[in-house]
Amino acid sequence: MRVCSTPGTGQRTKLVNNYVAITLTQVNSEAIALSQRFGLDLTKTLAVLLGTSANNGQLRMNFANKVLQGDTEPGFTIDLAHKDLSLILGAAHASHVPMPVAAAVFESYSQARANGCGGNDFSAMADAVCDLARIPRARVPRGWKPA
């Protein structure tokens, strides 16, 4: 079964998918930084997030297996996410679709790049947000897996 059939549909669908994935990465990063600032137990907070409607694939897969384990080796870099956000915003503007959240996330990725994090995995936005807030980077205990 072909999901995307007309010319350009696949590319546009990829932009929509990447918009959600990149934006969720920013939201997850801010939530984790906030939990760190509140002094919450990270594993208990994650159990709540993963067990409620706040659950999302970025948190369950990318964060649990990458940045929260201390692994920022790129799968998909902050630089690439920034480039995709630029394409997303350009396409949205051309289509007359306001995207204020995308614009804010774009600026957050711009800041992470300016701070030298562009080559890191985009889950490392969690580290960038914690660094900006001057709080310890969030890490789960060795061997932790999402329930």
Residue-wise over 42-70: b if at least 16 C-beta within 10 A, else e? beebbeebeeeeeebebbbebbbebbbbe
Q: Name the one residue in this structure whose structure tokens are 């080796």.
A: 73
The single-letter DSSP state of residue 1 is -
* DSSP assignments along 39-94, one per residue: T--HHHHHHHHHTSTT--HIIIIIIHHTGGGT----SSBHHHHHHHHHHHHHHHHH
From the candidates 14, 44, 66, 145, give the one annotated as an active-site residue.
Answer: 14
Tell me how far apart the 2 most distant CA atoms of the chain are, in Å: 50
The single-letter DSSP state of residue 134 is T
14 among known catalytic residues: yes
Q: Which residues are marked as active site?
A: 14
